[in-house]
Amino acid sequence: MDVFLPIAQVFVNPIEILILSAIVGVLSGLFGVGGGFLMTPFLIFLGVPPAYAVANEANNILATSVSGSTTHYLKNTLDYKMGLMIVIGGIIGTSLGIYTFSYFKGIGKIDTVISLAYMYILAIIGTLMLVESLGEIDKAKKNLLIKKKIHVHYWIHGLPLRMRFPKSKLYESAFTPIIIGLMVGFIAAIMGIGGAFILVPAMIYIIKMPTKLVPGTSLFVTIFVSVIVTFLHSFNYGSIDLLLVFMLVVGSIIGVQIGQKLGEKIDSSGLKALLAVLLLIVGIAIAYDTFFAEQTFEEIAKISNKDLNFFSLFILEFSEDMPFFYGLFSIMFAIFLGVAAAFIRRFFSNLRKKILLKS
Amino acid sequence: MLTSNVKILKTLSNFRATFIKTGIFVSLAAYWGIILVGTFITFN
């Protein structure tokens, strides 16, 4: 049972998308990584053109980060001041990223650039994770306790305009979070990812934020970065397909909840090596697709507007006639889904507690 | 006799660990080789 995506102009199997996004969601919840760098390549493998996969995954990330951030807001584990500083850099980085995206789209090389960027990012993360997890297993076997240096100073700590961040109890240059935000925004705009894999280590090792504030603040930053990426992609290229976004959001939100519950019960450090291998396999699949697979020209689905159902026709006309409001609607749609998911989760969590107290 | 057996087992276990680590290192080197050569060919 295939469904036609009115904006991306391709047929996809909704069950495949739901299952894949749920699997990626489980991995995100289990390992605390964003799922963007896995889901975008999966969408490309399912036949969604890379430029559309990037934009729609950014919108999906917006929904999941709103959901996660609402949970952290309710728990008061967010540093807004630090988050806003990173967002300032993120806005500049995203604008530069969209400009670069437009340049490569203009010369017709955007699909190759996205594939290559994914291949290298997956190869780098996969290699680092594999080496780290093997080291951890080795250390655990030998029961080694290695003392790490508490304060390592990089050039970035010597920058001017230092200010206080009371929540994180830090006295840091404002340029440190801005530079990190700039890098994250640039990568997010080109690759359609949240950038948590850069942001989280940078917040811990470079900014030196307390670990309990890191996930919430990272999600808070991701909201703003993905809002800008979604809006600019929607407004400039009209590439957001609400039908695809809905499928992605439903799958990933369910998956993340399952992953978080699993993470509470099992020790995921041993599974890190498996995730690293999975990333490397996806990376090599992209490499094969880019370098060795025969160039086949996919048939462009020719479907006239008359054949579309009411919902698809509405999305298509809304996107073409009012791109500005369509972009805003895509953002509001993702935010609504994210907040709804957070409150549904809270409701079920409270219900479970009540049942446990009664019994 | 017992001490020598323990020594042999330890050496075997170390050999196995070294073998696995070398295997992973060679696989990663091959992996990076493929993607770097692929990129080079594509851009030429």
Q: What is the DSSP string of B13-35?
A: HHHHHHHHHHHHHHHHHHHHHHH
* Cβ atoms within 10 Å, residue A214: 23
Mean pLDDT is lowest, of A78-87, A286-295, A321-330, for A286-295
State the Cα–Cα distance between residues A23 and A40, nearest whole angstrom.
13
User: What three-state secondary structure class fits A5?
Assistant: strand
Q: Which residue has the higher pLDDT, A141 or A49?
A: A49
List of E strands, chain A: 3-5, 10-12, 162-165, 170-173
Q: Is residue B34 very low, low, confident or very high in pLDDT (cuts 50, 70, 90)? A: confident
Mean of pLDDT values over A259-273: 70
Supply the pLDDT for residue A143: 60
Q: Which residue has the higher pLDDT, A347 or B13?
A: A347
Q: Where are the alpha helices (DSSP H) in A50-107?
A: 50-75, 80-106
| pLDDT tens digit sequence for A143-172 | 655 555 555 666 666 777 788 888 778 888
State the Cα–Cα distance between residues A6 and A107, nearest whole angstrom.
25
| pLDDT tens digit sequence for A1-55 | 788 888 878 888 889 889 988 888 888 777 766 677 788 888 888 888 888 888 8
Backbone torsions φ then ψ of A12, nearest 5 degrees: -135, 155
Query: Per mean pLDDT, which of A279-283, A298-302, A309-313 is the most reliable?
Result: A279-283
B-chain residues near A116 (CB < 8 A): 39
Residue located via tokens 């970065």: A225
User: What three-state secondary structure class fits A50?
Assistant: helix
Determine, for residues A290 and B32 on separate chains, whether the beta-carbon distance falls below 8 Å.
no
| pLDDT tens digit sequence for A107-129 | 887 878 888 888 888 888 888 87
CB within 8 A of A54, min separation 6: which ones? A40, A114, A190, A191, A192, A233
Residue located via tokens 């967002």: A87
Residue located via tokens 């695809």: A244
Determine, for residues B31 and A280 on separate chains, whether the beta-carbon distance falls below 8 Å.
yes
| CB A344, CB A333: distance < 8 Å | no
Supply the pLDDT for residue A297: 47
Q: Is residue A323 very low, low, confident or very high in pLDDT (cuts 50, 70, 90)? A: confident
- Find which of B25, B31, B40, B41 to mutate to test the A interface (most A CBs within 10 Å of its CB): B31
Angle at A145 between CA A144 and CA A151, to 5 degrees: 145
The two structure tokens encoding residue A33: 């990584």
State the Cα–Cα distance between residues A173 and A207, nearest whole angstrom.
9
Determine, for residues A123 and B32 on separate chains, whether the beta-carbon distance falls below 8 Å.
yes
| CB A254, CB A64: distance < 8 Å | no
> Burial letters for B9-36: b for 16+ Cβ neighbours within 10 Å, e otherwise?
eeeeeeeeeeeeeeebeeebeebeebbe
Tell me the Cα Rg of chain B.
Answer: 19
Q: How distant is the Cα of B16 from the closest Cα of chain A, in angstroms? A: 13
Tell me the Cα Rg of chain A.
Answer: 21
Determine, for residues B42 and A112 on separate chains, whether the beta-carbon distance falls below 8 Å.
yes
For A116, name the nearest residue in chain B, comparing CA atoms only.
B39
| pLDDT tens digit sequence for A215-256 | 778 888 888 888 888 888 888 878 888 888 888 888 888 887
Supply the pLDDT for residue A355: 87
Mean of pLDDT values over A299-315: 68
Given the cut 0.85, state whether the ipTM is greater than it: no
State the Cα–Cα distance between residues A324 and A21, nearest whole angstrom.
28
Supply the pLDDT for residue A262: 77
**Among B28, B39, B41, beta carbon nearest to A127:** B28
Q: Is residue A306 very low, low, confident or very high in pLDDT (cuts 50, 70, 90)? A: low
Determine, for residues A290 and B21 on separate chains, whether the beta-carbon distance falls below 8 Å.
no
In Å, what is the CA distance from A117 to each residue of A37, A111, A229, A318, B36? 10, 10, 17, 32, 12
Q: How distant is the Cα of B1 from the closest Cα of chain A, in angstroms? A: 26
A-chain residues near B24 (CB < 8 A): 130, 134
A-chain residues near B13 (CB < 8 A): none
The two structure tokens encoding residue A104: 């490569």
Give, rounded to a whole angstrom, the gap between the first and last alpha carbons of chain A: 44
State the Cα–Cα distance between residues A207 and A228, nearest whole angstrom.
24
pTM for the whole thing?
0.74
Whether the predicted pLDDT of A196 surpasses 80? no
Supply the pLDDT for residue A352: 83
